[in-house]
Structure 1
Amino acid sequence: EDGRLRHHGRVDMTRSGLEGFGRSLRRTDEVVVEATGNAMAVVRVLSPYVGRVIVANPMQVKAIAHARIKTDKIDAGVLAQLHASGFLPEVWVPDERTERLRRLVARRNQVVRHRTRVKNEVHGILQAHLVPKCPHADLFNNRGRAWLERQVLPDDERAAIARHIREIDRLAEDLADLDRDIAREAIDD
């Protein structure tokens, strides 16, 4: 206010805490938050109370403002000063539909990464027991699994592989569900 930073206090990062903070603001106020995992939720809660909620790009803010000491209070002051001076690097805030699609795609990516980790664990077991590379294109398709069944392995490792195969099959079901949801969201886009 009037070119000066005014400390407002800490805000509890819960829906009720943010709503209480929002009620203390004016419709003409603008709020700046850094893009973090919960930034879009903060935008949704505070938007009805203020003129605008701006999401700052944390990497660009970091490049602009070199602070030797980093605390939430100092970071908030830096964001306020950058916004007041017109140098705040903003992030585009998606609409709800785009945000939902982003979440679906992110979840799909997580499932794919998890499936890859599980498959790598199976490959690791095979390598640990000097089992040669599968001669089939995919160790996890029907032909690859039949080949895998014929390999000589200790019982505990065979049981671990069986658990991993069940997990891979479960993850395939999750991927199919996510692919269907993503297709529904994107078909008219």
Structure 2
Amino acid sequence: MRRVIGMDIHRTFAEVVVWEDGRLRHHGRVDMTRSGLEGFGRSLRRTDEIVVEATGNAMAVVRVLSPYVDRVIVANPMQVKAIAHARIKTDKIDAGVLAQLHASGFLPEVWIPDERTERLRRLVARRNQVVRHRTRVKNEVHGILQAHLVPKCPHADLF
């Protein structure tokens, strides 16, 4: 018997809806802590599939819940929004939509990188942040010097 679990994840909690035998059943809320997610994971079946939308903490949820289920799927939130128009939006409805879209084969999935690729992505993103910050600081120093009529550095690079 196939079960698809939709999770509408937030910073402190996740709303959970289970799709089984063509029916949706509200499961409740899960704390968005490692222990809360692990406890939830232990209550699942090995054959279950979990669906979450791509958010800031989605990859952490994938890492924690993957050992407990067959698969954790990350959905593209922009495409889900385009497919599923709901007049009433609640966390339960959003979780149910995710489960139903996956169960019916219409869920727009996001590729999930392996650990090495994810680590490299984080490293590159952090380097970009540091380089942008360095550029801002250099521009501030140049602006301060210019505002105080300090002549241009005779060397090629002030820094």
TM-score range, shorter chain: 0.7 to 0.9
Question: Structure 2: 5+ residue runs without aligned partners?
Answer: 1-19
In 2, the alpha carbon distance for the partners of 1:60 and 1:106 equals 24
Which digits, 9 at most, give the CA deviation of each residue in 1:104-134, with x for residues without a partner? 1111111112112212222332343355766
Query: Structure 2 residue aligned with 1:98, among 117, 130, 141?
Result: 117
Q: Which has the higher strand share?
A: 2
Query: SS of 1:26's equivalent?
Result: coil
Kindly name which structure, 1 or 2, has the bigger radius of gyration based on alpha carbons: 1
**Per the alignment, do residues 43 and 131 of structure 1 end up closer, same or farther by CA in structure 2, a change over 3 Å counting?**
same
Which sits farther off after the overlay, 61-70 or 105-114? 61-70
Query: SS of 1:90's equivalent?
Result: coil
**Per the alignment, do residues 44 and 135 of structure 1 end up closer, same or farther by CA in structure 2, a change over 3 Å counting?**
same
Question: Structure 1: 5+ residue runs without aligned partners?
Answer: 141-189
In 2, the alpha carbon distance for the partners of 1:54 and 1:94 equals 12
Matches within 5 A, 1:123-162: 123-129=142-148, 138-140=157-159
Q: Which has the higher helix share?
A: 1
**Per the alignment, do residues 14 and 124 of structure 1 end up closer, same or farther by CA in structure 2, a change over 3 Å counting?**
same
In 1, the alpha carbon distance for the partners of 2:153 and 2:88 equals 54
Which digits, 9 at most, give the CA deviation of each residue in 1:31-81, with x for residues without a partner? 011112221221111111111100111122122223344432222112112
Matches within 5 A, 1:160-171: none
**Per the alignment, do residues 16 and 115 of structure 1 end up closer, same or farther by CA in structure 2, a change over 3 Å counting?**
same
Query: SS of 1:10's equivalent?
Result: strand
**Per the alignment, do residues 53 and 128 of structure 1 end up closer, same or farther by CA in structure 2, a change over 3 Å counting?**
same
In 1, the alpha carbon distance for the partners of 2:114 and 2:144 equals 45
**Per the alignment, do residues 2 and 126 of structure 1 end up closer, same or farther by CA in structure 2, a change over 3 Å counting?**
same
Q: Determine what percentage of the aligned residue pairs are the same residue.
A: 98
**Per the alignment, do residues 66 and 132 of structure 1 end up closer, same or farther by CA in structure 2, a change over 3 Å counting?**
farther
In 1, the alpha carbon distance for the partners of 2:39 and 2:68 equals 10
In 2, the alpha carbon distance for the partners of 1:113 and 1:44 equals 30
In 1, the alpha carbon distance for the partners of 2:152 and 2:109 equals 49
Using the TM superposition, give the Cα deviation of residue 88 of structure 1 relative to its aligned residue in structure 2, in angstroms: 0.6
Which digits, 9 at most, give the CA deviation of each residue in 1:125-154, with x for residues without a partner? 2343355766765442xxxxxxxxxxxxxx
With normalisation by structure 2, the TM-score equals 0.77
**Per the alignment, do residues 66 and 134 of structure 1 end up closer, same or farther by CA in structure 2, a change over 3 Å counting?**
farther
In 2, the alpha carbon distance for the partners of 1:78 and 1:130 equals 62
In 1, the alpha carbon distance for the partners of 2:146 and 2:90 equals 47
With normalisation by structure 1, the TM-score equals 0.66
In 1, the alpha carbon distance for the partners of 2:123 and 2:30 equals 30
